[in-house]
Chains A and B, each alone.
Chain A
Amino acid sequence: MARAMPLGLGRSGIAFLVIVAAAGVLVPFLNLATPVDSPWHVPTTTVVLFGKYLCFALLALSIDLVWGYCGILSLGHGAFFALGGYAMGMHLMREIGSRGVYGNPVLPDFMVFLNWKELPWYWYGFDQFWFAAIMALLVPGALAFVFGAFAFRSRVTGVYLSIITQAMTFALMLAFFRNDMGLGGNNGLTDFKDVLGFDLQQNATRCGLFALSAAALAAGFLVCRAIVSSKLGKVLVAVRDAESRTRFIGYRVEHFKLFVFTVSAMMAGLAGALYVPQVGIINPGEFAPANSIEAVIWVAVGGRGTLVGAALGARGRQRRQELVHRGASRALAVRARRAVHFRHAVPAEGAARPGRYPPRQAPGAAGGDAGPARNGR
């Protein structure tokens, strides 16, 4: 895997875009326009499955942007994904309207039977699609902004950052599990009927969502590409490789990190928002720390710092799930083996990329000789 830092798209990038675009057009076409018994027919199961992977790929892309290019290992990106999902889920919940089992035009079913009397304030506005769509980007973005502003200003880096991002997603999971949050507790949000008037159980809608996910992935890829190939992208890599050096030549590192972290969170939120109508459920399980770690593993397997690889790595989940189908133990063993295998791959990778891991010098810890900690802050 060549070190991809070209100013343009690069061959692999173009190929990736072509494939995503082709899939975005072909899969829906083959599902809708061919008869079920045709050899060319793509079954609905596959459409749903691949639609899911497209969303995972977008999530992986967003992680690669911060980890691969800026050295921020977020073990809490699943939280942004889930928040985007919840924003969309809340809209879909409101869309049900009076078709819920109790026929209450305003309150979702779970609120009705738990005796909620009125809609909590944070549900206002979600009856509008545009509002939900904005929130799906804004809420993860805002969380990332606030969290990042604190963390990066205080120069929480490396492992510490990873661990507090875990704590963040864990705390959110516990919070969303609470029924008092008014977001459906453990069951989360389900029973969706339609989106923008399209019935979610129609294949056409599914295909539409699939195409939309493909488009979002392509757009996300282009955005990431634009960022990493701009001068800002060079600064990010500089931060990853030698953070204090970057500071000493006058870049305010925390601002750059904050920017890219927020953009990445919004991408993850978008991925979540597209994921929810396709799988039909969002619940606090999506916040589980293990999910975030798994997403990082996709990126690691696909190739950190290569956007294409990250997106493809997410498809590794497909193989894992197939294996789970055959026997959980084997799947877990494979997943673990892959994680172990990955470590063997790294030295080789490092050798192929000279200077990537200079001896005796961990990335991020650079900055000349071991200077004393900045105290007083």
Chain B
Amino acid sequence: MTELVNSLLYLDGVTVSFDGFRALNNLSMVVARGEMRAIIGPNGAGKTTMMDVITGKTRPDKGDVLFDGSHDLTKLDEAAIAELGIGRKFQRPTVFDSHTVLDNILLALKGPRGVFASLFARLTGDERDRIDTVLATIRLTDRRHELAGRLSHGQKQWLEIGMLLAQDPALLLVDEPAAGMTDAETAETAALLRRIAETHSVVVVEHDMTFVRDLGVRVTVLHEGSVLAEGSLDQVSADDRVIEVYLGR
């Protein structure tokens, strides 16, 4: 129970199946407050499904998902979970293509999310400052009025991270942030995530071992829907079972 109290995110015995296929199989995991965690695993290990469960997109068949020790995420929908303070970045960058960079950040900015609040919302000076800060962080200040759809792939990834920052969540779920990036970009992204992790809890799903190494954090290996190993990258890469899973027999 101490785990539960100290943890920000607590998964216990989570099972999800689709038409007989078990995407998650009795998965248990704890992410502590302020921790950055990397999750690796081969295709079909259940990484994305796990994200879906945490963010309310998929309901587990079994198991508990608790946030901040008291909120049962299995009872809430996406919007409510987002308001609790869980932000998610997708594997494929999804930004609002027909909005400007600025509007993308504006939409993500922490604040009231109701229909009428949005209808009558006016941009305050404080909000403008926060947007500027975020834009500076993700180095898109000079492209703020451009349509997000025109950004390069890497810039979209960064914009999406920027939206996460604007949302100011307690926990960030980041799905393959380095996919499709150049080496330089990858390194910068890793640096950015490390900076973010100073003030937030972060869960990163990643394939790229270099990137995970750059992050230098605790690693969880998923396989066939459950945790195979946990520890530092060096520890897990020495694990025979992990080697077997990754390299095959």
Direct A–B contact in complex, judged by CB atoms less than 8 Å apart: yes
What is the interface of chain A, defined by CB distance below 8 A to chain B?
Answer: 3, 5, 227, 230-232, 234-235, 237-238, 241-242, 244-253, 255-256, 259, 353-356, 358, 361, 366-369, 371-377
A230-B121, A249-B163, A249-B167 given; A237·B115 CB < 8 A: no
Name which of B3-11, B98-106, B187-195 contacts chain A: B98-106
15 A-B pairs with CB atoms under 8 Å apart are A230-B119, A230-B121, A244-B57, A244-B78, A245-B94, A250-B83, A250-B113, A251-B107, A252-B113, A256-B118, A355-B149, A356-B98, A372-B52, A372-B58, A376-B61
Q: Which of B52, B79, B108 contacts A253 (CB 8 A)?
A: B79
Which partner residue on chain A sits nearest B109 by CB separation?
Answer: A249
What chain B residues lie within 8 Å of A369 (beta carbons)? 48, 90-92, 175
* Interface residues of B, dominant DSSP: mixed
Least distance between A234 CB and chain B CB atoms (Å): 5
CB distance from A368 to the nearest CB of B (A): 3
> CA of A255 to CA of B112 in the docked complex: distance in angstroms?
14
Contact, CB under 8 Å: A3 / B98: yes
Quote the shortest CB–CB distance from A16 to chain B (angstroms). 21
CB distance from A236 to the nearest CB of B (A): 9
Complex Cα spacing A376 to B91, Å: 24
Check B87 for interface membership: any CB of A closer than 8 A.
yes
- Report the count of interface residues on B (CB-CB < 8 A): 46
Which residue of B90, B103, B118, B150 is within 8 Å of A355 (Cβ)?
B150
Residues of chain A contacted by B108 (CB below 8 angstroms): 249
> A247-B78, A250-B83, A255-B114 given as contacts; is B149 within 8 A of A232 (CB)?
no
A126 to B52, CA, bound (A): 52
Min CB–CB distance A375 → chain B (angstroms): 6
B52 touches A231 (CB 8 A): no
Residue pair A250, B82 in contact (C-beta under 8 Å): yes
How distant is the Cα of A354 from the Cα of B156 in the complex, in angstroms? Answer: 14
Q: Is the CB of A248 within 8 A of B78?
A: yes
**Interface positions of B (Cβ within 8 A of A):** 16, 18, 23, 48-49, 52, 55, 57-59, 61, 77-80, 82-83, 87-88, 90-92, 94-99, 103, 106-108, 113-115, 118-121, 147-150, 163, 167, 175
Cα–Cα, bound, A255→B107 (Å)? 16
B96 near A241: Cβ-Cβ < 8 Å: yes
Contacts of B18 in A (CB 8 A): 372, 375
When chains A and B are docked, how far (Å) is the Cα of A367 from the Cα of B78?
Answer: 12
Q: B59 contacts A367, CB within 8 Å?
A: no
User: Using Cβ atoms and an 8 Å threshold, which residues of chain A touch B95?
Assistant: 242, 245
Q: Which chain A residues border B87 with CB–CB below 8 Å?
A: 248-249
Q: For the complex, give the distance between the alpha carbons of A368 and B49 in Å.
A: 12
Q: Which residues of B contact A356 (CB under 8 A)?
A: 97-98, 149
Which residues of the other chain, B, contact A252 by a CB distance below 8 angstroms? 77, 79-80, 113-114
Cβ–Cβ < 8 Å partners of B96 in chain A:
234, 237-238, 241-242, 245-246
B149 and chain A: residue at smallest CB distance = A355
Chain A residue numbers with a CB within 8 Å of B107 are: 231, 234-235, 238, 246, 249, 251
Residues of A within 8 Å of B149, CB to CB, are 353-356, 358
Residue of B nearest to A153 (CB): B77
- B98 engages A241 (CB within 8 Å): yes
Contact A251 B98 (CB under 8 A): no
Q: Which residues of B contact A368 (CB under 8 A)?
A: 48, 90-92, 94, 175
A227 contacts which chain B residues (CB < 8 A)? Answer: 119
| List of A residues within 8 angstroms of B58 by Cβ | 371-376
Q: With A250-B167, A256-B115, A372-B23 as given contacts, are A355 and B97 in contact (CB-CB < 8 Å)? A: yes
Chain B residue numbers with a CB within 8 Å of A246 are: 96, 107
